[in-house]
Amino acid sequence: KQEVTQIPAALSVPEGENLVLNCSFTDSAIYNLQWFRQDPGKGLTSLLLIQSSQREQTSGRLNASLDKSSGRSTLYIAASQPGDSATYLCAAYTNAGKSTFGDGTTLTVKP
């Protein structure tokens, strides 16, 4: 059974700081890993999708990496801004479309 863990559960940083969010998964037989952002009381917004054959993906100030052999993914946020404050979830997608989500990291960026 796939298990996804995100550390830390919460993170508070000053504006402008670079930061890393961690995601680990137990079953390396994934075909992609996705990072999402969730604002309070709202749905999820897809940030980055890394296919199992890829090592990383970049979008603007965001960079996500994937290491299947160690069962880890990281989301790097450069030059954080108050608008980045949200909960970030990673999800491992395995065969036939089943997905397992982590509990998320709640990020607060202070002005």
Partner 1 sequence: KAGVTQTPRYLIKTRGQQVTLSCSPISGHRSVSWYQQTPGQGLQFLFEYFSETQRNKGNFPGRFSGRQFSNSRSEMNVSTLELGDSALYLCASSLIPTGPTDTQYFGPGTRLTVL
Q: Which residues sit at the interface with partner 1, rule CB under 8 A? A: 31-32, 34, 36, 41-46, 49, 51-52, 89, 91, 93, 96-104
Q: 94: buried, middle or exposed (CB in 10 Å: 19+, 13-18, 0-12)?
A: middle
For residue 108, the minimal CB distance to partner 1 (Å) is: 18
Nearer to partner 1, 51 or 81 (CB): 51
Nearer to partner 1, 14 or 43 (CB): 43
Query: Which three-class secondary structure state does DSSP give residue 77?
Result: strand
Neighbours of 46 (CB within 10 A): 11
| Bridge partners (DSSP) listed for residue 36 | 46, 89
For residue 19, the minimal CB distance to partner 1 (Å) is: 22
For residue 18, the minimal CB distance to partner 1 (Å) is: 25
Neighbours of 101 (CB within 10 A): 16
For residue 111, the minimal CB distance to partner 1 (Å) is: 27
First to last CA, the chain: 41
Nearer to partner 1, 33 or 80 (CB): 33
Nearer to partner 1, 25 or 80 (CB): 25
